[in-house]
Amino acid sequence: MRRARWIIKPKPESKKPVIYHCISRVVNREFVFQSAEKEELRKFMRMYEVFSGNRILAYCFMSNHIHLLVEVVPAAPEGLTDEELLRRLRAIHSEAQVAEVAKELAEAREAVAKGLADESLVQAIHARFTYRMHDLSQFMKSFMQRYTQWHNGAHQRKGRLWEDRFKSLIVESGIAARTMAAYIDLNPVRAGMETDPASYRWSSYGEAVGGGNKGNGKKAREGLVRACMSHEGAGFESEKWREVSRIYRRAMGLALGRKSGKAEVDRERVKPGLNTEEALAAKKNGTVLPDLGMAAMLRHRVRYFTDGAVIGSREFVNAAFAGARERFGPKRKDGARALRGGASAAKGVLWSARNLRLEV
């Protein structure tokens, strides 16, 4: 039997977001995602983001694999209104299908009002759809299956598209989420496809700077603001993008020009690192040394960020370990393991639940 996925249940009363880095690869690692396929991936991702109530903080679609940084948002204790349920259904179903559900709900509400049925009749209609919401596995399953249906139809193929079930890591909010988002957005740079992540259209940063298929990039900016500043109480606030964009480019080891309007890429490079202005700004808030070292680290593959199980502060990883003690043998005393090898720049800042000995 496959081992159960390591999941942390989001709690409505908790202010700490529950975040996962999810990775899925194509069967045989074949390069099947070209421009049209990546546009469809983004379309279906956004559709199921609306339907599920979860949020995409960062993403990158490569030619044979995908990365998503997903925040699993807890369901409201009072549940959804009929109007909200129908709004979410419109994201993934046709108007005719939504109209059928709306009619069914109206008839159920009328029966309750006349005393012919109780509220459980309405709740049963909601439950047919809501069990797939606010859940990581259901979100990824629905999104990946829907894309596979499109892909197989478009390419006259049959069978499964994805190599195996998706891989997921638990990521702490704050520096861990910001670093993971930067690692995701730097995928095309590490692969030698681009020299600047802003030039890659099918990633959160490329969308945030250049706009998505609708040209505004607001969703991507909201996600990156949340990834970078949720630990400071920021929500999905695109108006904070100007402030966050400087922090985020610094995390990626890039400089940002001081120009009004849409973000502009400063072609001067510190390889990787900061220009003098950025270094001084970073020094003021005490992040210059971690940013310099970690930005260099992110230009290389970091296995901890795909296989580390849990990534965050020592306290966060130990708390996750304590909450899933049954996953480990009796000799294991704590959860946090120091990052080593190529990830040593993050040692003491980030910790992993797994002690990866090779190719770290």
Q: Is the pLDDT of residue 303 over 90?
A: yes
Task: Clarify whether residues 341 and 274 are in a common domain.
Answer: yes
Q: What pLDDT is stored for residue 258 in this prediction?
A: 36
- Say how far apart CA 220 and CA 240 lie, in whole Å: 12
pLDDT, averaged across the chain: 88
Res. 56 pLDDT band, cuts 50 70 90: very high
Q: Are residues 118 and 218 in the same domain?
A: no
Give the model's confidence band at 214: pLDDT under 50 very low, under 70 low, under 90 confident, else very high: low
pLDDT of residue 262: 41
Does residue 44 belong to any structural domain of this protein? Answer: no
pLDDT digits (tens, 9 = 90+) for 9-43: 888 777 789 999 999 999 999 999 999 999 999 99
Q: Indicate whether 55 and 106 sit together in one domain.
A: no
98-108 pLDDT, tens digit per residue, is 999 999 999 99
Q: What is the mean pLDDT of residues 324-343?
A: 92
Give the residue carrying structure tokens 């009072």: 78
Sign of the Cα torsion 142, 144, 146, 148 reads negative
Whether residues 101 and 199 share a domain: the answer is no
State the pLDDT at residue 9. Answer: 85
* 19 sits in which H/E element: strand 18-25
Are 248 and 115 part of one and the same domain?
no
Q: Are residues 293 and 274 in the same domain?
A: yes
For the chain, first and last CA: distance in Å?
28
* Assigned domain for 155 exists: no
Residue span of the structural domain in which 195 resides: 18-39+51-74+161-352
pLDDT at 75 over 50: yes
Task: Write the Ramachandran bin of 17: left for phi over 0, alpha for psi from -120 to 50, otherwise beta.
Answer: beta
The pLDDT value given to residue 292 = 60
Are 126 and 225 within one domain? no
Those residues with Cβ within 8 angstroms of residue 262's Cβ, 6 or more apart along the chain or in another chain: 209
* Domain annotation covers residue 148: no
> Quick one: pLDDT at residue 15?
78
Share of the chain above pLDDT 90, in %: 72
pLDDT at residue number 255: 62
DSSP per-residue letters across 77-137: TT---HHHHHHHHHHHS-HHHHHHHHHHHHHHHHHHHTTSS-THHHHHHHHHHHTTSS-HH
Does residue 285 surpass a pLDDT of 70?
no
pLDDT of 153: 97
- Asked if residue 253 belongs to a domain, the reply is yes
Centre a 10 Å sphere on the Cβ of residue 242 and count the other Cβ atoms it contains: 12
Q: What is the pLDDT of residue 254?
A: 82
Q: Give me the pLDDT at residue 28, please.
A: 94
Are 227 and 199 in the same domain? yes
Taking 60 as the threshold, does the pLDDT of residue 278 lie above it? no
DSSP 3-state of 352: strand
Q: Are residues 57 and 98 in the same domain?
A: no
Structure tokens at 346: 């993050």
139 assigned to some structural domain: no
Residue 286 has pLDDT above 70, yes or no: no
pLDDT for 211 equals: 66
10 occurs within a structural domain: no
Whether 124 and 270 map to the same domain: the answer is: no
Spatial separation of the C-alpha atoms in residues 18 and 72, rounded to whole Å: 6
pLDDT of residue 290: 52
Q: Does residue 291 share a domain with residue 346? A: yes
CA neighbours within 13 Å on the CB side: how many for 142? Answer: 24
The answer for residues whose C-beta is within 8 angstroms of residue 151's C-beta and 6 or more apart is 32, 37, 40, 157, 161
Identify whether residues 342 and 281 lie together within a single domain: yes
CB 251 within 8 A of CB 245: no
Residue 228 has what pLDDT? 93
Is 2 domain-assigned? Answer: no
User: 5 in a domain, yes or no?
Assistant: no
256 pLDDT higher than 70? no
* φ/ψ (deg, to 5) at 339: -75, 140
The residue among 97 and 270 whose pLDDT is bigger is: 97
Q: How many structural domains comprise the chain?
A: 2
